[in-house]
Every structure is written in structure tokens, then in C-alpha cells.
Amino acid sequence: MADARPLALALVLGAVVSVQTGSAAATTLFDEVGPAGTVFFRLLFAALILAAIWRPRVRRSDRSQLLLAAGFGATLAAMNFFFYAALDRIPLGIAVTFEFVGPLGVAIAGSRRRLDLLWVAMAAVGIVLLAGPTGSSPDGLGVALALAAGGCWGAYILLSARVGRAYPGGRGLALAMVVAAGLMVAPGVAAGGEELLDPELAAIGLGVALLSSVIPYSFELEALRSIPTGAFGVLMSLEPAVAATIGLIALGQDLAAAEVAGIALVVCASAGALTATEVAAPTEA
């Protein structure tokens, strides 16, 4: 077990970098197919890959399992759409930080320690710094969309545990991804139109699906065999910082000192809350 932990830690960090790199790549599609078309690409390719790997059988599921998978799929579709719509308006690092309020809320809700008030206060100060003074704050709708994505991420965490108990392996996730892709057909086609048939854009969409869904899911699944969920959650709390770094390097999204401080405070608050509650915050699907 001890020998496996360094590899597990590397896998979690690799998953974090992969999903944020995928988010940066996704923004390159917005001008051609819009956020909705990009989400459709991601969910469609992820659904095809995961379905081929896990081969979910609808007939082997009872009504309660199917309803659970459908709800999970609807959550996945909403989470991805809100997040990509936010990315179209605000920088990657800021979007992920606001989105991380969802997992942070789930972690704190699962604990009754007085110390958690410190993490709430720290996160609140971080969000205030990110919001900034009047005239320099990020796009209000973009922030609202990121917070909506965070709410969906919190629901995703709770639902993923139930789906994991209801279905063996990744079959529940694969079935939910098929549902999510189906829900995004109409808005995705409306936004992307004929551009969705462009082979180059589809190739980028496939890359986004691999980087943002298939690779991180696989890495996390293997890592959780060797490390406790608390350690996993703390590592996942690095996502806002990693997102800000990738946004700077890949997209040239500079952040002000106050914004960097705000992200740091949210990261610290998330790490503290997740350590105390042993609640993991899985990568956004």
C-alpha cells in the first residue's frame, strides 16, 4: 500500500491537470459552436467511449436505478453547460474557484465542527476578493453561471455515491453520460449547426472529452484504490489554483493580485474543510 501511494497521488494530480487542460481546450471551440455545442461534443464522445468500455444494460436495471441514472445524467448536462457558459464570460481560474463553492458546501454540510466556521469565513473572504470592487468585478452573469455549475457539482458528488452503489463499476456513469449527451442534442445542434460536422472541430471535441472526462475518471478510480477519500479531496481542492495557472499559460488570462489571493483563500478553505470531513470532491464530469 505504501508503495502505491506516490503513484496514486500522481494520478490525482494528473487528473486535475487533465481536466483543466480540457477546459482550456474547450474554450477554443466557443467561437465556432458555442458553449452548448462544445458541451455536446464533450458529452457525446465521452458517452460513446464510456459505453464502449462498460457496456451498460438498460434491461438489467430496475425503475429506481434508471431514474437515478437519468437524474445523474441531467445533473451532468446542467453542470457542464453552466460551467462552459461561465467560461465564455470569465477567466478559467475564477470560474473554477466560484464553481468549487459547491463541493466546499457539501463538505461543510457534512461536518458539525466549530472549526468549519473558519473555513466558511476564509472562503467568503476569498470570494469577496474575487468579486472585486465595483467596476473591476468579473462579469456578473458569468459568476452566476459558475455558481450554478458549483451547485450542480455538489449534487453530482451526492448522486455519484448513490450511482456507485446502484451500479457495478462505471456502468451507472456510462448510462448517465448517455442521458446527458441526449439532453444536449437540441441545444448543441441549435448552437453549433453545421459546424458540428467539421472534422477538425470534432477532433478537438474528442480531445476535450478525453482530457476532461475519460482520462481523469480513469485516474481517479485507480487512485482511490490506494488513498483515503480525505486525501483525495484535499488534492482535488487544488483545482482552482491549477485552473488559474493553465488559464495563464494556455489562454493568457492574467489575474490581479487580489484575484490570486482570493483563489488561494478558497483553496485553503476547501483543503481544510475536506480534511476535516473526509468528503471527496470528484472532478467535474
Q: Are 24 and 250 in contact (CB under 8 A)?
A: yes
Residue position matching grid coordinates 481517479: 220
C-alpha cell at 226: 490506494
Q: Are 175 and 101 in contact (CB under 8 A)?
A: no
pLDDT of residue 136: 58
Cα 177 to Cα 210: distance, rounded to the nearest angstrom? 13
Cα 26 to Cα 42: distance, rounded to the nearest angstrom? 9
How do the residues of the chain divide into helix, strand and coil, expressed in percent and rounded to 5?
Answer: 80, 0, 20
Considering only residues 250 and 162, tell me which one the structure prediction assigns the higher pLDDT: 250
Domain boundaries, the chain: 4-277
Residue 103 has pLDDT above 90, yes or no: no
Computed over every residue of the chain, the mean pLDDT equals 88
Cα dihedral sign, 181-183-186-190:
negative
Cα distances from 208 to residues 1, 20, 76, 216, in angstroms, run 33, 10, 15, 11
Average pLDDT rounded to a whole number, residues 54-65: 85
pLDDT of residue 280: 44
pLDDT of residue 188: 98
pLDDT of residue 17: 96
Could you report the per-residue pLDDT of 20-50, keeping only the tens digit for each?
Answer: 999 999 999 999 999 999 999 999 999 999 9
Average pLDDT rounded to a whole number, residues 143-164: 90
- In one-letter notation, the amino acid at residue 43 is L
Instruction: State the pLDDT confidence band at 3, using cuts at 50, 70 and 90.
Output: low
Percent of the chain with pLDDT over 70: 91
CB atoms within 10 A of CB 121: 12
Instruction: State the pLDDT confidence band at 283, using cuts at 50, 70 and 90.
Output: low
Could you report the per-residue pLDDT of 212-257, keeping only the tens digit for each?
Answer: 998 998 888 778 777 776 677 778 889 999 999 999 999 999 998 9
Could you report the per-residue pLDDT of 266-279, keeping only the tens digit for each?
Answer: 999 888 877 755 54
Among residues 22, 139, 33, 144, which one has the least CA distance to residue 89? 139
Q: Are 153 and 44 in contact (CB under 8 A)?
A: no
Q: Are 274 and 233 in contact (CB under 8 A)?
A: yes
Residue 285 has pLDDT above 70, yes or no: no
pLDDT of residue 279: 45
Considering only residues 132 and 172, tell me which one the structure prediction assigns the higher pLDDT: 172
Considering only residues 62 and 200, tell me which one the structure prediction assigns the higher pLDDT: 200
Residue 71 has pLDDT above 60, yes or no: yes
Q: Where does residue 67 rank: exposed (0-12), middle (13-18), buried (19+ CB within 10 A)?
A: exposed
Q: What single string gives the DSSP state of each residue in 153-202?
A: HHHHHHHHHHHHHHSSTTHHHHHHHHHHHHHTHHHHHHHHGGGGG-HHHH
**Dihedrals φ, ψ of 255, to 5°?**
-120, 145
Comparing 37-46, 57-66, 276-285, the range with the smallest average pLDDT is 276-285
pLDDT of residue 1: 44
Among residues 46, 31, 32, 33, which one has the least CA distance to residue 77? 46
